[in-house]
A and B are shown apart, each in its own frame.
Chain A
Amino acid sequence: DAKTTQPPSMDCAEGRAANLPCNHSTISGNEYVYWYRQIHSQGPQYIIHGLKNNETNEMASLIITEDRKSSTLILPHATLRDTAVYYCIVRLRDNYGQNFVFGPGTRLSVLP
C-alpha cells in the first residue's frame, strides 16, 4: 500500500502557482519523498525528490515540513500542459528489493 495521502483532484488557474499537498506521517528518517506526474497516455515522469531540505529544479519546488510528515509540490506558474496526475511517493527504506509504490495521486486540472 502507498504510504502517502493526496487529495484526489485539484484545479488551478493558468499562470498561478499550483500547490499540491501530500501527507506521509509514517515516513522514516532515511526515506525520500519523490514526485512524479503522468500526462494522459504517457508513462510517469520524474519531477523532483528530497530528504529533508527544500528542493528546487527547473520544473518545480518541493517543500518538506520540519517533521517530514508532509510535503508540498509547487509549480510556480502552471500552464495547460501541467494538467496531469501527480504522484507523491515515499521510497521504501532499503535499496534492495526496492520498488516505488504509486497511490492514485492527485489529478491537477489547469484551467484557462
Chain B
Amino acid sequence: DTGVSQDPRHKITKRGQNVTFRCDPISEHNRLYWYRQTLGQGPEFLTYFQNEAQLEKSRLLSDRFSAERPKGSFSTLEIQRTEQGDSAMYLCASSPWGLGNEKLFFGSGTQLSVL
C-alpha cells in the first residue's frame, strides 16, 4: 500500500511533555497538509506545505506547534509543552498539485491523549 502513512497511531503523554508525529505522504505528492480533529467535529486545518515550503498556518497553530518538511518528502509535527486541550486526532494528507482538481489523500491519523 502506497498511501499516506502516519506514525505513531496512538500517543499517550503527560502534560508538559513534547511530542513529535511523522507523516509520509504519497510519493510525488508535492502538497502536504496537517489537520486536527476532536470528537464529533470535522477536521480543522492547521498548516500545509508545497514541497518544503510552509505556505500557510492556521491561527489554531500556536507557537507551541511547529511543522517541518525538510526535503519536501516526509513531514513532522511537534507539539511542545503539551496541554490537555491538545488531545485530538492529528491527520496528515497529501495531494498532487493541480488547478481546481486537488484531492486530498488522508492517513489514518495519530491519536494524541494528554494526561
Report the minimal beta-carbon distance from A47 to chain B, rounded to whole angstroms. 10
Q: With contacts A42-B108, A43-B108 known, is A95 near B45, CB below 8 A? A: no
Residue in A96, A100, A101, A103 with the greatest tally of chain B CB atoms within 10 Å: A100
Contact surface of B with A, Cβ cutoff 8 Å: 4, 33, 35, 40-45, 48, 55-56, 58, 91, 93, 99-109
B43 touches A99 (CB 8 A): no
12 contacts between A and B (CB under 8 A): A42-B106, A42-B108, A42-B109, A43-B4, A43-B109, A44-B106, A49-B101, A49-B103, A85-B42, A91-B102, A99-B48, A102-B35
Q: What residue of chain A has the Cβ atom nearest to residue B99's Cβ?
A: A95
By a CB distance below 8 angstroms, the chain A residues around B106 are 42-45
User: Among the listed A32, A34, A103, which residue makes an inter-chain contact with B42, where contact means beta carbons less than 8 Å apart?
Assistant: A103
Q: With contacts A49-B103, A96-B55 known, is A43 near B42, CB below 8 A? A: no
Query: Chain B's interface: helix, strand, loop or mixed, by majority?
Result: loop
User: Among the listed A91, A96, A102, which residue makes an inter-chain contact with B43, where contact means beta carbons less than 8 Å apart?
Assistant: A102
By a CB distance below 8 angstroms, the chain B residues around A95 are 99-100, 102
